[in-house]
Amino acid sequence: MADKLIIVESPAKANTIKKFLGGSTKVVASMGHIRDLPKSKLGVDIDKDFEPEYINIRGKGDLIKSLKKEAKQAKKIYIATDPDREGEAIAWHLATILQDESEKITRVTFNEITKKAVKKAIEEPRDIDVNLVDAQQARRVLDRIVGYKISPLLWKKVRRGLSAGRVQSVAVKLIVDREEEIEKFIPEEYWNIYANLSDKETKKQFEAKFYGKDGKKIEIHNQEEVNNILTDIKDAKYIVDEVKRGEKRKNPAPPFTTSTMQQEASRKLGFTLKKTMGIAQGLYEGIKIEDRGTVGLITYMRTDSTRISEEARAAAKEHIIATYGEEYYENRYYKQSKDSQDAHEGIRPTYSDLTPESIKDSLNKDQYKLYKLIYNRFMASQMSAAIYNTMQVSINANNYIFRANGQSIKFKGFMTLYVEGTDQSAKEEEDKMLPELNEQQELKLEKLDPKQSFTEPPPRYTEASLVKALEEKGIGRPSTYSPTITTILDRRYIEKEQRQLIPTELGKIVNKLLTENFVDVINVEFTAKIESDFDEIAEGKEQWKKMIREFYGPFKEELDKVEKELEHVELVEEVSDVPCDKCGRMMVYKYGKYGKFLACPGYPECKNAKPIIETIDVPCPKCGGTVQVRKSKRKRKYYICENNPKSCDYISWDKPKNTP
């Protein structure tokens, strides 16, 4: 008979915890959720004040019997599921199933799976936090109502099998709106003039950019304006007007939150959100390390906080001073965002002595990459600022002003270890040196280089930039970003091309139907407000059923109105210019599991259907045939000759170029 029974979600987590607790302690896994709403029906009794109708998840019968048996034999039961709302809900469901042993049950949580953290949690058990459970129930019930009430409209008007999710639909709307911005964008012409100048003594050359005239900035819009300026500065002397020297400090980024980890792993490692969270889950639950056994390498990976424990800060200080020197350490605290729940620490390594290089042989390639990113980001967050020497030069040419900026690194500080990426580039800031210049010094003009440019449309979202936008707009929470984007990709409402998220025709149709008919639900502000309401419930400031009641009244009115309005609306199918080769009717575009295809409108009399073959207007470089565009299993585009493999073997990831 076990003195203590500890229940966690996963076998990996169970294995890590087992080694910390000897004696008669047993650790078992619930394998995630054990009860949920049924899939076959709404599962929410609206007439009984939105009471959820939970059932045991199919296939978990034997596991439930086993858990009940273990619970009966134990003297004390600790439910140690994850330290967030989802984990609290799983704990509550487990307690419900094991209610015959309710007097033995208690709840424990830990932010990291280390011996010290686990033992401390067991010494300080608590009751299940009903407020956190209610916040999760509110989300589950509200999302179920929205999804199960709106989705049938999509079945009738678009096709069966489609579904509408509250947060997912808003994410699709953001992507569709951005695509419309891009399509409507009209490029505007603008010009820059670059002066290639040199110091007459040292012969060192540098580039200065046109700024304006008489101290005022001038924007150049066309060739005529460029020519006027070039005429005015023809034969001008280039005199250094002003030299400003200074220093610039660059501070490190804070430790990772879920959102910033997902963004940085996308930018620097090319990981999808789903992949990042899967690897992080493994690092958190435990990896077998040579000479150390199974070790939880990082703190809990679903968090919106950058707060760090004093113990972790002290360990970082010791490591930084020992590795880099005293001047590289700086005691830093990071301000929390106003929307941060701050329930857990930021994401950090659990042991400062386990450097990425020291455990590289125990990790697979992707685990090593992500662990190194987390480890270095955390250590850098406690390091000194990087210091640059800066130089700003203003150059006068017949009262026209050119400017040049230069910088050189004086002290690398945290940049010795880590530099934060951006959506455009993850490269370290480069030194850009200028020669030593003095005021009133005359420079030699080597060349004037006018360059025409056009304004560009806003960029399409990537997974990283969409997560950033969702977070900034208050849509979703750390646990929802990855499943949200994964869901809309799986439903083929959007597709990914070279990391960019593009709405499909299906996504545009669904978005149009939802945004035109459910203005108050598929709405950024409304979705953000709902998230705030969930937070209020988690803090015990709001009753979850009251919140659902207030939502459901207006929603039901809107739903009834839309159902009535759409009753006689038939979805007009898009007709192609391809005749059916069986009956001659013009085929129509349909949407299936794998995207858009051509089908005969005479169904069921004529069941002819065919794939849509995309081609490009560049001939095959080998045989001159038509080049088709296809997609690999991972949705990556590739180019193949129509004659492959019969008489031509042309196939390439890169689009062929039209050569004369």
- Helix, strand, or coil here: 411? strand
Chain-centre distance for alpha carbon 225: 44
Instruction: Residue 453: count other Cβ atoms within 10 Å of its Cβ.
Output: 11
Which residues lie below 8 Å from residue 292, measured CB to CB, with a gap of 6+? Answer: 354
The type of residue at 350 is T
Half-sphere exposure of 326 (CA within 13 A, CB side): 0
Instruction: Residue 17: count other Cβ atoms within 10 Å of its Cβ.
Output: 24
Distances (CA, A) of 431 to 1, 412, 434, 602: 67, 12, 10, 67
Question: Of 401, 452, 457, whose CA–CA distance to 190 is shortest?
Answer: 452
Tell me the β-bridge partners of 411: 387
The DSSP result for 461-510, as a single string, is: PBHHHHHHHHHHTT-S-TTTHHHHHHHHHHTTSEEEETTEEEE-HHHHHH
Chain-centre distance for alpha carbon 315: 30
CA separation for the pair 638, 628 (Å, rounded) = 8
175, 181, 182, 188: CA torsion to nearest 10: -150
Is residue 300 flagged as an active site residue? yes
H helices present in 299-407, as ranges: 310-323, 365-381
CA separation for the pair 354, 362 (Å, rounded) = 11
Q: Which two tokens stand for residue 24?
A: 């008669």
Cis peptide before 252 (omega within 30 of 0): no
- Burial of 187 by CB count in 10 Å (0-12 exposed, 13-18 middle, 19+ buried)? exposed
Active-site residue identified among 78, 284, 300, 639: 300
- Burial of 247 by CB count in 10 Å (0-12 exposed, 13-18 middle, 19+ buried)? exposed
Instruction: Residue 526: count other Cβ atoms within 10 Å of its Cβ.
Output: 16
Cis peptide before 255 (omega within 30 of 0): no
CB of 284 closer than 8 Å to CB of 301: yes
CB of 474 closer than 8 Å to CB of 339: yes
The catalytic site residues sit at: 300
